[in-house]
Homo-oligomer: A and B are copies of this chain.
Amino acid sequence: MSTSANTPPPCITLLTDFGTQDSYVGILKGVIAGICPQAVVIDLTHEIPPQDIAAARFNLLMAYRYFPAHTIHLVVVDPGVGSARRAIALETPLGRFVAPDNGVLSGVLADFRPEEMAGVSLDRPEWWRTDAPSATFHGRDIFAPGAAHWATGVPLQQLGSAVAIADFTPFPLKPYTRTAAEIQGSIQYGDRFGNLITTIPGTAITHRTQSVWIGDRAIPCHRTYGDVLPGQPLALIGSHGWLEIAVNQGSAREQLNLGVGDEVWVRE
């Protein structure tokens, strides 16, 4: 396939737990370059902690809407490699996805109505790199080839057998709850700055919200980091759209000694 001057080139993002010490990520890109040389390949991150589906799920969810809708997001965080878990491809109105069926796409799946999406299992060896894929590197042998062939224009339905949206594996992330008196949620991700992102969407916060509670400690709500003194904690609606706990010019994770799963409450 060739790219005409007026069509944007295919775009593929990569999200893995491979790290960047070895050439594993480069190998994925080599396989893609062999199948779809005109693709623009963009790294989301490769520093997902090994096999941490929750972190991969969150980073994908935070990023995918900022890409053109034709983008293919390839996720390889795959504790079940070599087992019977499916390799899947998912089409949505705001992005296309290739990943193991282990819950990593559950955040994206919740963003659309089932009838807006379509999914297949990448179960056809004709689109794999080899008839005899490695037992330990499906990223190279199944996922990257699937994404690259999709990027060249192969229709989704030809990539594999249909999978009903309801049959995709969910991820056990406890949803936030709301009563008349309070909203209860938890921390779902800590970023490199030590900011702690909760499961509570910014839309649940009103102008009357004054504090977020962690145990018996109240964290004041503000608009941006600089609204408190350096070293002081605050709660704010982060750029990703969720309620976030931060410390101005510091690390909330270290200073407040909190981590993924810890509970937070919003009371007016």
Binding site for B on A (CB under 8 A): 2-6, 8-9, 11, 13, 15, 18-27, 29-31, 33-34, 37-38, 40-47, 50-51, 59-60, 62-64, 66-68, 71, 79-83, 134-137, 140-141, 191-193, 223-226, 236, 238-239, 249
Residues of the B chain whose Cβ atoms lie less than 8 Å from the Cβ of A21: 45, 47, 191-192
Q: In the assembled complex, how far is the CB of residue A259 from the closest CB belonging to chain B, in whole angstroms?
A: 15
Are A66 and B3 interface neighbours, CB within 8 A? no
Are A66 and B239 interface neighbours, CB within 8 A? no
Are A8 and B38 interface neighbours, CB within 8 A? yes
Q: In the assembled complex, how far is the CB of residue A264 from the closest CB belonging to chain B, in whole angstroms?
A: 19
Q: In the assembled complex, how far is the CB of residue A114 from the closest CB belonging to chain B, in whole angstroms?
A: 25
Residues of the B chain whose Cβ atoms lie less than 8 Å from the Cβ of A25: 43, 45
Residues of the B chain whose Cβ atoms lie less than 8 Å from the Cβ of A19: 192-193
A59's closest neighbor in chain B, by CB?
B23
A46's closest neighbor in chain B, by CB?
B20
Are A27 and B135 interface neighbours, CB within 8 A? no
Are B191 and A68 interface neighbours, CB within 8 A? no
Are A30 and B224 interface neighbours, CB within 8 A? no
Q: In the assembled complex, how far is the CB of residue A23 from the closest CB belonging to chain B, in whole angstroms?
A: 4
Residues of the B chain whose Cβ atoms lie less than 8 Å from the Cβ of A9: 37-38
Residue from A41, A42, A134, A191 having most chain B Cβ neighbours under 10 A: A42
Q: In the assembled complex, how far is the CB of residue A266 from the closest CB belonging to chain B, in whole angstroms?
A: 19
Pick 29 A–B contacts, CB within 8 A, sort by A.
Answer: A2-B5, A2-B6, A9-B38, A11-B33, A15-B23, A19-B193, A20-B45, A21-B47, A21-B191, A22-B45, A22-B192, A23-B45, A25-B43, A25-B45, A26-B44, A29-B42, A30-B42, A30-B63, A30-B64, A30-B68, A33-B40, A33-B71, A34-B66, A37-B40, A82-B223, A83-B226, A134-B239, A135-B223, A137-B239
Indicate which residue in B27, B136, B225 contacts A62 across the interface (CB closer than 8 Å): B27
Are A136 and B239 interface neighbours, CB within 8 A? yes
6 tightest A-B contacts by CB?
Answer: A137-B239, A8-B37, A82-B224, A30-B67, A135-B224, A26-B44
Residues of the B chain whose Cβ atoms lie less than 8 Å from the Cβ of A3: 5
Question: How many Å lie between the Cα of A5 and that of B3 in the bound state?
Answer: 6
